[in-house]
Every structure is written in C-alpha cells, then in structure tokens.
Amino acid sequence: MEAGASTAREVAGLVERAHRACWSTVLASTVRLTRDLDLAEDCTQDAFVQALRTWPDGVPDNPAGWLTTVARRLALDRLRRETTLRRKLPLLIEDPVAPGDSERPTDPLRLVFTCCHPALARDSQIALTLRLICGLTTREVAAGLLISETTAAARITRAKKKIAAAGIPYRIPADDELADRLDVVLTVVQLVYTAGHVATGPELTRTDLTGRALELAHLLVRLMPDEPEPEALLALLQMTQARGDARVSEDGELVLLADQDRHRWNVKLLAEGVSRATAALQRATASTQPGGPAQAAGGVGERGVGRFALQAAVAGLHVTAPSWEETDWHQVVRMYDAMLLRWPSPIVALNRAAAHSFVPGADLTAILEELDALGKDPALKSYSYLPATRADVLARLDRADEAIAAYDEAIALTANDTERRFLTRRRAALQPS
C-alpha cells in the first residue's frame, strides 16, 4: 500500500481510472471462477465500491490485483452461501480454477467469445460484450449502437439469460468453431476501439478503451495467425492510433484528418499498420503484388475479401497519401463500393458519399441527394455524422442557411464535448444569407 491517507475526491479519481483500466480484466477473472455472468458482474462492481471505502487509508501498489482479489473473494463468499451451487453454474468452465489463481492474459478474450456465441442474436452479442468488456453504461452502449437505452438494456438482459439457459461455455472456441464467431468478435473489438476513439463526455479519447481494443486485436492475430481479417483489423486500429496525437491541437481542440500535421503521426506504428494492411489484402486476394495498400487492393471487387481488409485499405490510402488533397479519392470510393457489396451498411454508404464529395469534379448536388436519401434510414436517425456531412457539403455549395441548420442538428446529436465545440466553430464560420 502507498502510505498516507487520500481525500475522497482523490480516491474517487483513482477508482474511476482503475475502473477504466481494469474493469474487463477483473470481471473476466471473476467469471472464470464463478461461471456466472450476473454474479461476476455484481462482485466486480462491489469490489470497486469497496475500493472507494478502503483506499482513503492507502492506495494499493497493484490496484488491478487488489480489485481482482476482492472481487473473487466476494464471489467465493456468495458461492459458499449457495446451497444449490451446482445448479447455479451456467457457464461450463473446462479448467478448474483454484482460489489463488491469478488472472490470465486471455481471460478478456474468453469473455468476448462467450458473449459472441452463435446461440445469441448478433445484436445481443454486441450489446453484451460492450457492457462487460468495456464496462460501458447501458446509455453508452445504446449511443454506440444507435439504439434506445431501453432496447440496449433488453438486449443485454436477454443475452445473459440465454447464456445461463444454454450453458454456454466460458472458453476460447476450438479451431473448427472460430469461423462462426470471428466476424462478430472483430466487429465488437472495432466498436470497443470506436467507443474510445470518440468517447461520450468531455474527453475526445478514452485510452483505456482504445488500448483494450488493441490488446484484443493482438490476441486475435496470435490466435488466428493465418486469417487475414484479424490482421486487417489490427492494421486498421494501428493506423488510426498512429494519428492520435495529431487529432488534438495544443489548445485541446479537434483537428480533422484534412488539417492534421502529418509530422506528428507515429511513424513506427503507422509503418507497422500499413505493412499489416498490405499483407492482409494480399492474403485475402491471393495476390503477390508489391507495394502499399493501393496497389495490393487490385482485386478488391471480389466478394472473398473481408470488410476489415477493405477498411484497412481505405485507412492505408489516407495515411500513405502525401497530403489530404493528393489522396487517391477515386480509389477510396472504389474501396467503399467493394465494401458495400460485402457489407451493405448505411454507415458505409455515408462514408462512401463523404469520400465521393472530395473526388475532383464530383457533382455535390447529386451527393447531397444521396445524403438526403440516407437520412430516411432509421439506423442513422441519431447518427451525428450524417447531418455533419450534409452541413459540409451544403457549405461547399454556398447554401449557408441550410448548412447552419444541418450543423445545429449535428450539434444536438453529438455526445462528445470536443466534437461539439468543433461543429459549433464550423457553424459560426458560416454567414447566413
């Protein structure tokens, strides 16, 4: 223990940071002991509550270890009080765990695969994993999935009940079972990163979530070294992470990719991401073409190429371009066309329209019509990037009044304070006619 008492505010801050950094590890280790998601979640939450009461007398040298020990001890006490213990263990763990066992590095990945079991509906898989792995509130899960809070809560509850009723095992699947869960697991890991990349609240980024996603992506690559999609996802996250420092100005304001100082990018991480993206595309297309993502993507129109390889190709085109203006926008649009064949999502369609608007000579009026049509899709009803994109296109069409109205809509939908300030500045720069 670190000596000396701390104020309640200092302890609350320490516990909040520990919650962000350690939640999934503590929960996953406790699940491995209890084999009961609800019990493990309750005990993990109680451990953090106990930290608020105990840490004022001295903060432990290893907060994660302390929290794990307390959560597992609380779980053991609960289990000992159960007279029907055998009937209360719905997760069929395959390796017995002694009370003194420490957590394993793969425990969070085990928990992800448990939540992404094929017996669960896909929407429930994603909602439950975001709740358990990220420790996100139901409100934050709802915001990330563009659904209502009530719907998110219902999906989480249904998934937990299904796991208990079906006796879904808490383990990483055998090799022949991995394919059935891989796509949704990759989707969840990307959503974890996205939840941290643009966080809800005052901070632009939550490094605990982005770091957790990167850790899970690395584990997936080690688990499935011959699969292109895990490597492509890791490449995508690395290229995004490499631009992190340049996303915020010295005064804490958001800087879009178009205006970023590329000298502030992490060159080493960027090179690793580009290399992975190229390798993933080459493997997916059975191609040996040399060069970067733009060259390796020669056959991306084939349906066999996964959506994460295509997303990595788009990121690679952005980061290997000498500047925003010199980006190969024709190729970016082509990537999105291929992605829509593989993954016909309204968000992909929105990203394609946004990219198309930067193609030299593009018909912005036609693109605006595309955006207006996308606005009728219920999935984008609360998605702030749709009105923000419309506002940008309207501003370039010199339709300031309409652009201001679109910015107002985007500002109202934005849950991040840094993004909201950015949109407000963009709005203020327009002069109504």
| Element spanning 366, H or E | helix 364-374
pLDDT-derived band at 286 (thresholds 50, 70, 90) equals low
Kindly report the pTM of this predicted structure.
Answer: 0.81
The mean pLDDT value for 59-88 works out to: 80
- CA distances (Å), 92 to each of 26, 164, 264, in order? 19, 10, 48
Name which residue leads in pLDDT, 86 or 132.
132
The answer to whether 114 touches 108, Cβ cutoff 8 Å, is no
The answer to whether 204 touches 247, Cβ cutoff 8 Å, is yes
- CA distances (Å), 247 to each of 57, 192, 271, 412, in order? 39, 19, 18, 22
The mean pLDDT value for 333-337 works out to: 96
pLDDT tens for 203-227 read: 899 888 899 899 899 989 998 888 8
The mean pLDDT value for 117-137 works out to: 84
Distance CA 55, CA 9 (A): 11
The mean pLDDT value for 268-289 works out to: 85
| Element spanning 72, H or E | helix 63-81
Say whether 405 sits in a helix, a strand or coil: helix
Distance CA 77, CA 100 (A): 14
pLDDT tens for 139-173 read: 888 877 878 889 999 999 888 888 888 888 777 77
What's the residue count for the chain? Answer: 433
Of the candidates 132, 127, 129, the one whose C-alpha atom is nearest the C-alpha of residue 115 is: 129
Tokens of 404: 């201001």
Helices and strands: H and E segment counts in the chain:
19, 0
State the virtual CA torsion across 355, 342, 177, 190 in degrees, nearest 10: 10
The residue assigned the tokens 């974890």 is 192
Distance CA 324, CA 256 (A): 10
Flag the least confident range among 23-37, 346-360, 413-427: 23-37
Tokens of 219: 């584990």
The answer to whether 47 touches 29, Cβ cutoff 8 Å, is no
Domains and CATH numbers, the chain: 1-83 (1.10.1740.10), 106-225 (no CATH)
Q: What are the backbone dihedrals phi and psi of residue 201, each rounded to the nearest 5 degrees, phi first?
A: 115, -160
Name which residue leads in pLDDT, 3 or 385.
385
How high is the pLDDT of residue 348? 96
Within 224-363, residue ranges assigned H as helices are 228-242, 267-285, 293-296, 307-320, 329-342, 346-356
DSSP 201: B
Name which residue leads in pLDDT, 81 or 63.
63
pLDDT of 86 strictly over 60: no
